[in-house]
Amino acid sequence: MPNCLVVEDSRLARKELVQLLKKLDQFEEIHEAQDAEEALIALEEFDPEVVFLDIHLPGKNGFEFLESLDHIPQVIFTTAYDEYAIKSFDYNAIDYLLKPIKKDRLIKAIDKLDLNTSKQSNIQLQQVFVRDGEKCWFVKLEDIRLFESVGNYAKVYFESEKPMIQKSLSYLESVLDENTFFRVNRQQIINLQFIDKIDTWFNGKLKIKLKTGEAIEVSRRQSHKIKQLFSL
């Protein structure tokens, strides 16, 4: 059975949700955290599959907490009332629970989750949380085709969206799986799965065309690496 983590600053509210979850008997272990800091420790220690996350937290709020994570588990947001947050959830069909939480509603939300994936194949489920103004998304890494550096930030290209995240390209390069994501030049990291065509360019450089149409120029040094990688 999977584990879960309840992040909630009010002790009584936490108790309430934990009791509900216990009754459902769907989780092996139910861990608790009062704030983002405790939640981070619990994530590292217990590696829960699901996090029930209150949006209002002292210190970092729920959104900021997720934004700070490189890979995040499946998340169900909880909130008492928050027009702003709910607007962004509804925009992207992200699931959330309104406090007081109804049992039926909780069951539905859990049913929608993918709890049967074993931890090994979880790599495919790896996702990041992206927030841009009033919108927010959970984006699977496999859906991201391109990261582009904009100062200390990075633009994340997926589907038709390209929001910004507060992470530098070098940082992203260090945490992303190198078998999937490749730094093609100083400005860009691409997802190798999205490559459509590789053409030789002048000066020994390569030009990559993505399946989505973008043309990306590879620096000379990285062109060399790509050639090795694809034994061109």
Kindly list the residues in this chain that would bind other proteins in the complex (CB under 8 A): 9-13, 15-16, 19, 34-35, 37, 55-56, 58-59, 61, 63-64, 80-82, 84-85, 98-101, 134
Residue nearer to other proteins on the CB measure, 82 or 217? 82
HSE, side-chain direction, 13 A CA sphere, residue 97 = 26
C-alpha distances out from residue 192 to 6, 26, 211, Å? 36, 37, 10
Choice between 36 and 176, CB closer to other proteins: 36
Shortest approach of other proteins to residue 230 CB, angstroms?
A: 44
- Paired with 183 in beta bridges are 189
Q: State the Cα–Cα distance between residues 232 and 224, nearest whole angstrom.
A: 9
Please choose, from the candidates 143, 189, 147, 171, the residue with its C-alpha nearest in 3D space to the C-alpha of residue 69: 171
Query: Is the Cβ of residue 78 or residue 188 nearer to other proteins in the bound state?
Result: 78
Q: For other proteins, which is the closer residue by CB, 19 or 212?
A: 19
Minimum distance of other proteins from residue 61's CB (angstroms): 5
- At its nearest, how many Å lie between other proteins and the CB of residue 136? 11
Look at strands 135-140 and 144-150 and give their pairing: unpaired
User: Which one, 84 or 202, has the nearer CB to other proteins?
Assistant: 84
In the complex, minimum distance from the CB of residue 39 to other proteins, in angstroms, rounded to a whole number: 12
CB of 79 to other proteins, least distance (A): 8
146-177 CB burial, b ≥16 within 10 A, e <16:
bbbbeeeebbbbbeeeebbbebebeebeeebe
